[in-house]
Amino acid sequence: MFHAVFVFNRFYKESENPNSSSIKTNSWVSWFLPNGISVRYLSYQIKTTNLMKSFIITFILLLGFAAQGQTNFEKGMEKAFSLWQSGNMNGAEQLFERMVDAEPNQWLPSYYIAQINSLKSWEEKDINVLTMQLNKAQKHIDKAKAIEPNNAEILVMQAHVYTNWVAFDGATYGMKYSNLIIELYKQAYKLDPENPRVVYNKAEWDMGTAKFFGNDTKPYCQDFAKAVDLFATFKPVSDFHPNWGKERAEQVLADCK
């Protein structure tokens, strides 16, 4: 994604003297100048105009090079995010699927397919639909892990998919997945303890477990406070890397107080 940021102060510093023109002119030039305009002033104006033209030409060339330098992967990710943000989650998922085939060494398309299917599953009541969605999510988590085996973001998403199963039917899936979820968050924290998604998702699972067993949840508020602080300074690797969760962490922290 190309971002152009310009800080434009002056073409000439105040210490520069516009009268120190190196342009030499013949005396006949003055015949064509209006009264009151000196040759030196005209020379300064010519230099300034040429500098402006050079700046504009350079800017246009830079824009062209930036557009040419954007890869098909970057274009595809931008388009998929645009579809998702406009509410077309299915369209985004389909584009991510095409990118998985076209970019077999990139883990992000598989990650987002898993996330989309996890999100779809939170409110799903039909076991057949849920199974289809979460199996698809698992398939793409496995693909992402094959590319990035020690990636904390992927481990968090794996924990989310297991949590989808527990949320759907705790009696059936709680025993099967609870310990796995705990271990995933421990692994993710070990890999990337300063990742705000790792901190807040681990805290949310621990808080939910404490609440289920009737234990005090206040001790986990400090973890959410830490996550919010980490979100304030977190910078994703690129515009396409995971950068979600800040609003949720802030919401839970507000409820803790």
pLDDT tens column, 25-71: 333 233 333 334 333 433 434 344 555 555 555 544 454 444 456 89
Per-residue H/E/C for the chain: CCCCCCCCCCCCCCCCCCCCCCCCCCHHHHHHCCCCCCHHHHHHHHHHHHHHHHHHHHHHHHHHHHHHHCCHHHHHHHHHHHHHHCCCHHHHHHHHHHHHHHCCCCCHHHHHHHHHHHHHHCCCCCHHHHHHHHHHHHHHHHHHHHHCCCCHHHHHHHHHHHHHHHHHCHHHHHHHHHHHHHHHHHHHHHHCCCCHHHHHHHHHHHHHHHHHCCCCCHHHHHHHHHHHHHHHHCCCCCCCCCCCCHHHHHHHHHHHC
Checking if the pLDDT of 15 tops 80, the result is no
Provide the whole-model pTM: 0.73
Residues 9, 92: Cα–Cα separation, whole Å: 42
**Residues 216, 180 contacting (CB under 8 angstroms):** no
User: For the chain, what are the domain ranges?
Assistant: 37-68, 70-177, 193-257
**Residues 194, 169 contacting (CB under 8 angstroms):** no
What is the CATH number that goes with domain 70-177?
Answer: 1.25.40.10
Ranking 27-41, 156-170, 171-185 by mean pLDDT, the lowest is 27-41
Compute the average pLDDT of residues 196-213.
Answer: 96
Model confidence pLDDT, tens digit, residues 212-253: 999 999 999 999 999 999 999 999 999 999 999 999 999 999
Checking if the pLDDT of 14 tops 60, the result is no
